[in-house]
Amino acid sequence: MSETSYAVLGLFDTPDALMQAIPKVRAAKIGAVEAYTPYPIHGIDEALGLRRSPLGGMVLVMGVIGALTAFGFQYWISAIDYPIVTGGKSPASWEAFIPIMFEVTVLFATFTAGLGMLLLLNKLPFFGHPILSSQSIKGITRDRYALALEAESEAFDSVAAARILGEVGAVTVEVLPAPDRSPFLTSDFILRTLGGIFAACVVAGLAIFLTIKWFPVLAPMSYMQDQPRLNAQKPSTFFKDGRGMQMPVAGTVARGHLPRAAGSQEAAATLINPLPRTKEVFAVGRKAYANRCEVCHGALGNGVGSLTAAYGGKPANLQAKQFLDYPDGKIYWAIVNGKNAMPSHAADLTEAQRWSVVHYVRALQRAQNAKDEDLKVVAP
């Protein structure tokens, strides 16, 4: 009784002898029966009672998952997260997804087949299978057919195994010692692996650095850089006047910038703020006010902004009685056309932003002159 042996190997001269021996050896029930032959032999799978490989099922499942993954990604990007209509097609056009789904299905399936076979089922990496260091390996890779009884537990009886192999007609019988099963991930191994990766990175990095330094770099694709286009503040041969930037066509206005308040401030007094007083509108007005108005008029609208102290200017105090009585239209007119030292903000603020600022200024005024009933509205 030798617990340390890995397997007992019996060599046969012909495949027929091997095939005839298999059922007898299996009937003895000593260890796992495995055959090693120089080429595949028909019917040996059934004779050895090998289980059906689960690889096909794994590949099918992973292939389906691949298809669903690709569909999910594309559907999420094209139809939910960033829907853009291209070519007049619906963003959720499944037809356009199919090629990618096909590719990802194949990708998942082949990776499952390859890696599943190597890593999961064949349990690689596995350095130095004991059979490879046996005396019989030369024969097995040439013209001999080996049957191995492999130890499944500590109770493996190699003497009985050798006897039964001799009885069923093995020409030679060889007992293989147990392989070295010391831990695979030793600190030495890890250090050497990491060191190797580091060295490879250094070499590759240096090579890339020096290549780029010593040899002229060719731009791989410059179509997007070199495309004919108009640059801001740059000349262009496209237009007759040689400028890249053009004035708007006479009589046209950009979207969102209509209408501009015309005439005098008094005439504008009758204009009515078209926007409703909603949270969103106040948020827009607050942001625009903070960006454009606050430096002079101050966060409270009382004319004390950061520029006031720095330059000694005297911006309007919007909390003054005069401005509390102003109609909306006159504030709007001032934003569009500017007043006294205040420049026009028509170019910076869209139509909606200007009216939002008007609302916000009204809110600032009311906040500074709050009445009792205002508190009731805020209280829950």
Partner 1 sequence: MSALNKTSNLLWGAVTLGALGVLGTYSAAGPQRFWANWVLWFVLIFTLGLGALFIVALEHLVNAKWSVPIRRLPERIATLLLPVIPVGLIGLGAIPVLYPGARPEAAHHPILAGKAFWLSLPFFSVRTLIAFALCVLALALLVGGSLKQDATKDPAFNIRARKFAPAFMAIFALVITMIAFDWISGLTPEWYSDIFGVYVFAGAFLSGLATTLLAVLYLQEQNRLEGVRADHLYNLGAFLFAFTVFWSYIGFAQYMLMWYANFPDEVIYYKVRLTGSWRAITIALAGLHFILPFFALVTRDAKRDPKRLRRVAYLMLGAHVLDIYWLIFPILGARPYFSWPEISFALFFLGGSLLWLRAAMQKGEDMPVGDPFLREGLEFRL
3-state secondary structure the chain: CCCCEEEEEEEECCHHHHHHHHHHHHHHCCCEEEEECCCCCCCHHHHHCCCCCCHHHHHHHHHHHHHHHHHHHHHHHHHHHCCCCCCCCCCCCHHHHHHHHHHHHHHHHHHHHHHHHHHHHCCCCCCCCHHHHCCCHHHHCCCCEEEEEECCCCCCCHHHHHHHHHHCCCCEEEEEECCCCCCCCCHHHHHHHHHHHHHHHHHHHHHHHHHHHHCCCCCCCCCCCCCCCCCCCCECCCCCCCECCCCCCCCCCCCCCCCCCCCCHHHHCCCCCCCCCCHHHHHHHHHHHHHHCHHHHCCCCCCCCHHHHHHCCCCCCCCCHHHHCCCHHHHHHHHHHCECCECCCCCCCCHHHHHHHHHHHHHHHHHHCCCHHHHHHHCC
At its nearest, how many Å lie between partner 1 and the CB of residue 58?
13
At its nearest, how many Å lie between partner 1 and the CB of residue 177?
37
At its nearest, how many Å lie between partner 1 and the CB of residue 278?
42
Residue among 32, 46, 30, 26 nearest 157 (CA): 30
Binding of partner 1 at residue 98 (CB under 8 A)?
yes
Residue 89 vs 138, nearer CB to partner 1:
89
Binding of partner 1 at residue 68 (CB under 8 A)?
no
Residue 82 Cα to chain centre, angstroms: 15
Residue 43 vs 72, nearer CB to partner 1:
43
Total number of residues that touch partner 1 (CB under 8 A): 11
Residue among 268, 249, 258 nearest 327 (CA): 268
Q: Which position among 60, 120, 203, 267 is part of the footprint of partner 1 (CB under 8 A)?
A: 60
Residue 96 vs 160, nearer CB to partner 1:
96
At its nearest, how many Å lie between partner 1 and the CB of residue 56?
6
Residue 312 Cα to chain centre, angstroms: 54
Residue 105 vs 319, nearer CB to partner 1:
105
Residue 54 vs 205, nearer CB to partner 1:
54
Largest CA distance in the chain: 120
Q: Which position among 58, 79, 96, 346 is part of the footprint of partner 1 (CB under 8 A)?
A: 96
Alpha-carbon gap, residue 101 to 93, rounded angstroms: 13
Binding of partner 1 at residue 99 (CB under 8 A)?
yes
Residue 97 vs 145, nearer CB to partner 1:
97
At its nearest, how many Å lie between partner 1 and the CB of residue 223?
22
Residue 52 vs 240, nearer CB to partner 1:
52
Binding of partner 1 at residue 106 (CB under 8 A)?
no
Q: Which position among 27, 29, 39, 42 is part of the footprint of partner 1 (CB under 8 A)?
A: 42
At its nearest, how many Å lie between partner 1 and the CB of residue 31?
29
At its nearest, how many Å lie between partner 1 and the CB of residue 66?
15
Segment lying near partner 1 (by CB under 8 A), choices 95-103, 288-296, 297-305, 334-342:
95-103
Q: Which position among 46, 95, 180, 373 is part of the footprint of partner 1 (CB under 8 A)?
A: 95
At its nearest, how many Å lie between partner 1 and the CB of residue 90?
11
Binding of partner 1 at residue 196 (CB under 8 A)?
no
Q: Which position among 82, 84, 87, 250 is part of the footprint of partner 1 (CB under 8 A)?
A: 87
Using CB under 8 A, which residues numbered 350 to 369 contact partner 1? none
| Binding site residues, partner 1, CB under 8 A | 42-43, 56, 60, 87-89, 95-96, 98-99
